[in-house]
Structure 1
Amino acid sequence: MTPDRERRLRALTPTVDAALRPGDGAPAGFASVRRSRLLPPGLDLDTAAERLLHWRLQRGVGRGADPSSERIEEGTVVDLRIGVGPLALIAPCRVVEVLDEPGRRGFVYVTLPGHPVAGVESFGLTAEGDRVRLTIAAVSRPGSLLTRVAGPLGRLGQALVATAYLHALDDPA
């Protein structure tokens, strides 16, 4: 990400209240998505967290990620690319929380103007015995004419991406 683009994204006001969290339920006018899965045996919390906190989910499902920092930290801004070529959408976000507690890791980002939806998405890892659970949750509403017109198809697309995220940490490559 260029320094100029980073400055412009940092100056933007989020499209929703940055204090909104998916676990709090979906406010009126918002849809929610929640997907969860136990990661493969042998994938420990520290390894999964390193992958998660270096944009592996977003890049692992074919989205481009152009972040202000390769390691996710509070305040990081990112342009996510949805699609390919000239038809790709740029979806800017800002990381508003990073979770680093015993047995739990993750982060939350909020959408910025220009993102096709307005909302918040969380990505969490939780140790469950000798396994790790990955949970993706989001609350959003259409943020552009395209997503308003897409209606249920847009929500289906978001749910499919959340489901695809569940396997993006598996591969060590």
Structure 2
Amino acid sequence: MKLEDLRHRRFSYDVVGSTRYDETPPGYHRLDHRVRIGSGDDVFRRAGEALMTWRMHTKAGVRIKATDTPAVIGANSLGRVGVGSLGLAVICRVVWVVDEPDRIGFAYGTLEGHPEAGEESFVVTREPDGIYFTVRAYSRAGTWYASLGGPVTRAVQTRFAQRYAKALQRLANH
């Protein structure tokens, strides 16, 4: 699969943009992972830059290519998770972006062929007591093997949220 092959793929779920809101769409599993990653303007700036340029994904172990850097609405991404050519393809499209003085991030949604169906957002916020990173996801199985994986699939998603947070913390505090 090539990055340019993604432009004609459709979303594999019907609640596009759902991670902007606090309600879990019916039939989806929800993941929320929020971590304080540091404090100060420099940490906020570096975290936002690492997030929007896909460096967080790379540092967390996802081999990723994207049509646009920084992330913009409509950008397609092709990630690979796993060992070498046996890695699992993770194909997504950016559905919303936020760039405000105290909040920066984006969400991407799964495209046809992704093992899961749903959306994941990554947002860095500046709050009175520090800089926080939040991953929010709504998902359900998109393939037979993800369905077969059940709770294991959700545990892997949680583990990646933790990896993203640790990677962003390292990138923001160097």
Q: Give SS of 2:134's match.
A: strand
Listed as ranges, the matches of 1:54-133 within 5 Å are 54-129=53-128, 131-133=130-132
Residue identity matched to 1:33: L
C-alpha distance in 2 between matches for 1:143 and 1:77: 18
C-alpha distance in 2 between matches for 1:132 and 1:19: 24
Listed as ranges, the matches of 1:1-173 within 5 Å are 5-6=3-4, 8-17=5-14, 18-21=16-19, 23-42=21-40, 43-129=42-128, 131-172=130-171
C-alpha distance in 1 between matches for 2:125 and 2:56: 16
Contact 1:25 1:32 in 2 (8 A): no
Contact 2:54 2:69 in 1 (8 A): yes
Per-residue CA deviations over 1:58-100 (Å, capped at 9, x if unaligned) read 1111111011123211111000111112321111100011101
Contact 1:22 1:120 in 2 (8 A): no
Contact 2:38 2:132 in 1 (8 A): no
Q: Give structure 1 stretches of 5+ with no counterpart.
A: none
Give the TM-score normalised by structure 2: 0.89
C-alpha distance in 1 between matches for 2:11 and 2:157: 19
C-alpha distance in 2 between matches for 1:15 and 1:157: 20
C-alpha distance in 1 between matches for 2:85 and 2:58: 18
Give the TM-score normalised by structure 1: 0.90
Q: Give SS of 1:51's match.
A: helix
Q: Give SS of 1:114's match.
A: coil
Q: Give SS of 1:170's match.
A: helix
Per-residue CA deviations over 1:21-53 (Å, capped at 9, x if unaligned) read 263332222101110111123553222111110
Per-residue CA deviations over 1:95-133 (Å, capped at 9, x if unaligned) read 011101121111010000111100000001110126211
The structure whose residues are more often helix, as a share, is: 2
Q: Give structure 2 stretches of 5+ with no counterpart.
A: none
Contact 2:102 2:125 in 1 (8 A): yes
| Aligned pairs, number | 170
Q: Give SS of 2:166's match.
A: coil
C-alpha distance in 2 between matches for 1:60 and 1:167: 9
